[in-house]
Structure 1
Amino acid sequence: MKKFLVALIAVLLVWNSYLTYEISRVKTQETTGQKVTPIYNNNTINGFTTDLTNIVTKTESKVVGITSSAHEDLLGTGSGVVYGKDDSGVYIVTNQHVIQGATEIYVSFDNGETLIAHLQGSDAISDIALLVVQPTFSVEAFNLGNSSVVKKGEYVLAIGSPLDLSLQGSVSFGIISGIDRSIAIDTDDNGIEDWEMTVLQTDAAINPGNSGGPLINMSGDLIGITSMKLSGDDVEGLGFAIPINEIIPIVDQLKENGYVIRPILGVVGKDISQLTIYQKSYMGINLDRTKGVLITKVFENTPASTGGIQTNDILTKIGDTEITSFKDFRKALYSMNVGDEVVLTIVRDNNEVNITVVLE
């Protein structure tokens, strides 16, 4: 009897092992025979990224590449924006330094078409140039934003052709890092900073070739023109753009006149701060005077000569604006209009004198 029970248990164990194997085999066949359908998440792109891609899609055809050459010798490349159009053609805005010295200018669109451009006008002080092209295809212009309402921390995009046109249409993203920044520049390339531009600061990447391209807000509006001349190439994450509100009146004058009309006083000056102690002593200037502009030349038949300004006068105010340097002088002067009557405060022989002139 005992031997029988042992044999029965052994048989049951073998049978149990067999059933376990068969069940496992059947399940494996059912699993491998089924077609597995993957589940895709169609919401992996969040709303923020979608907004960005929509803006790029909306605006990238309005950004162009600029190639400038002189007598068939390549000068350089840059970027530009489709600013507007009328019966005369399509207007492209870029930086003046992008096309400076060029005898031939070419505009490349995102559809692969390249057109010869006519230079309507340029302005070194604002670093703005206006080109005209005659495309045979449809071109849309940017909507112009309002740079006076731009806020620090606002998201922006920059589109352009960094390095060269092989990278045309490259997009960078950042924020407005600062507004109403004042940047000193040299407008006539003589090594002396003679003008201060009011600009927007951004951390969006701006590389050589991006100059003249757009700075775009999250509505797809043009709020500025980027400039590598202002940004320089020795600082990371520090870029600047000329505000669109500064550009509009410049473009209006370039379109109408081919140049920008600014009032003149008719003098050449030098910062008092640049004078040595010896020079101050020789000209009888108080040694503790560090602000103002020394008049070194007065041109004939100008508001300055008519008003009685003399060589070696020191200009300290234009109207109510204090003049500490030649940059201040030009900025104050260019904020006025031809025909304005202005009171100038000067120091002559260490005495303060007021002179009234009419700007031309």
Structure 2
Amino acid sequence: MKKWVWVLIAAMVVWNSVLTIQLSQFQTQLDEKTTETKIINKVVTDFTTDVTKVVEKSLDKVVGVSALYNGEVFSTGSGAIYDVEGSKAYIITNNHVIEDATSLTITFANGEQLDAKALGSDLYTDLALLEVDIDFTITPFSLGDSALIKVGENVLAIGSPLGLDFQGSVTMGIISGVDRIVPVDLNSDGFDDWDSLVLQTDAAINPGNSGGPLINMAGELIGITSMKIVYEEVEGMGFAIPINEIIPIIEQLRANGKVIRPVIGISAVGIDELSNYQKSFYGIQLDLNKGLYITSITFSGPAGIAGIKKGDIILTFDGIEITTFKQFRKLLYAKKVGDPVVIRYLRDEKETEVTVTLK
């Protein structure tokens, strides 16, 4: 009997030891999980704090833009405060937001609504500069450097999606791509007229966001949201004009009320746009698929003065082979009035090179 008692006591001791070890291990696991959870929560809290700080210092620099025609609002968008001089504020928005407006109203983050004047706009870059007289204090955005932007960088878009009822809406994403080229049809004729250089982002950009800022995590203005791809099979492809492209255009609008671009004095069509019948009609080799066929020329213009004639085919512009009229226009508009450019053209199967001074 005593033997069984001792066996039972020994068994209980062993069981208590096992139970103690298991409880100790379980407590250790709980402690580890608790510690892990605290670390994860701390990371999330820090991340959220960084974002909210950027938003807090940016919201007052974003405005709503209402375009009116004969007193009726027909378009709403967003804008970014670019500069403040005394009692005047200068606001960047998109050309397509204010196009055809007879009057403009700006709604500030503090609720103030003031009339604005369009100092100028530019169809090709889809930019416009507005001027507003203010009697309260506002601060413009600090400007970033879009040349330093990296793919994967976090960004914020702020604007008024679907109208002023949602003014100050913030969306977040990353830079999906830099130096993207997006063809644009400017006159709705079904043909692309211009190649826009843009930043690509997956931050949600909705109707009404147009003209609003794209901001980096330092709170700097790095772009102006302009467009998105809306195909059914596409998700999260929005585009913004880079700030380094914006500044020269805005400063011209501020100084001149328009963008002054050079002219060369020709009308032309891309060889790539011509059918074989049209090539035969113009006397162009059927196997020629690059260059510009000159359909008319201003004799007193830069090209005419340099000896270029109607019927010539421009092959290169400053050493760059010409493939389309759209590309030629982009190269031309990157120059300044007074710049010399070297044009190589084809006439009677003979190539000639001349220097043309742009006006």
TM-score (norm 2): 0.85
Q: How does 1:291-306 map to 2 (within 5 A)?
A: 291-306=290-305
Matched, 1:240 2:239: yes
Whether the aligned pair in 1 keeps the contact of 2:87 and 2:134 (CA below 8 Å) is no
Q: How does 1:17-56 map to 2 (within 5 A)?
A: 46-56=45-55
Whether the aligned pair in 2 keeps the contact of 1:147 and 1:245 (CA below 8 Å) is yes
- How much is the aligned-residue C-alpha RMSD, in angstroms? 1.5
Partner residue in 1 for 2:208: 209
* Off by >4 Å, runs of 4+ in structure 1: 41-45
Q: Deviations over 1:8-65 (max 9, x none)?
A: xxxxxxxxxxxxxxxxxxxxxxxxxxxxxxxxx9969521111111111010110001
Give the letter aligned to residue 230 of structure 2. D
Q: Deviations over 1:64-119 (max 9, x none)?
A: 01110111232211000000011461000000111001111111111111110011
Matched, 1:254 2:229: no
Q: Which entry has the higher C-alpha Rg, 1 or 2?
A: 1
| CA deviation after TM superposition for structure 1 residue 296, in Å | 1.4
Which has the larger displacement, 297-306 or 201-210? 297-306
What is the aligned length? 318
Q: How does 1:283-322 map to 2 (within 5 A)?
A: 283-322=282-321
Partner residue in 2 for 1:266: 265
| CA deviation after TM superposition for structure 1 residue 317, in Å | 0.8
Whether the aligned pair in 2 keeps the contact of 1:269 and 1:326 (CA below 8 Å) is yes
Give the letter aligned to residue 221 of structure 1. E
Q: Deviations over 1:325-347 (max 9, x none)?
A: 11111111112111111110111
Q: How does 1:42-81 map to 2 (within 5 A)?
A: 46-81=45-80
Give the letter aligned to residue 351 of structure 2. E
Partner residue in 1 for 2:20: none
Partner residue in 2 for 1:100: 99
Partner residue in 1 for 2:119: 120
Task: Give, in whole Å, the separation in 1 of the partners of 2:189 and 2:72.
Answer: 24
Partner residue in 2 for 1:138: 137
Partner residue in 2 for 1:170: 169
Give the letter aligned to residue 338 of structure 1. V
| CA deviation after TM superposition for structure 1 residue 300, in Å | 3.8
Task: Give, in whole Å, the separation in 2 of the partners of 1:328 and 1:44.
Answer: 48
Task: Give, in whole Å, the separation in 2 of the partners of 1:44 and 1:295.
Answer: 63
TM-score (norm 1): 0.85
Which has the larger displacement, 70-79 or 198-207? 70-79
Task: Give, in whole Å, the separation in 2 of the partners of 1:218 and 1:44.
Answer: 16
Task: Give, in whole Å, the separation in 1 of the partners of 2:294 and 2:331.
Answer: 16
Task: Give, in whole Å, the separation in 2 of the partners of 1:289 and 1:50.
Answer: 60
Identity %: 52
318 and 286 in structure 1: CA distance in 2 versus 1, 3 angstrom threshold: same
The runs of 5 or more residues in structure 2 that have no matched partner are 1-37
Which has the larger displacement, 199-208 or 87-96? 87-96
Whether the aligned pair in 1 keeps the contact of 2:87 and 2:135 (CA below 8 Å) is no
Q: Deviations over 1:284-327 (max 9, x none)?
A: 21111111121112124210221122222211111111211111
The runs of 5 or more residues in structure 1 that have no matched partner are 1-40
**The residue matched to 1:288 in structure 2 has which SS?**
coil
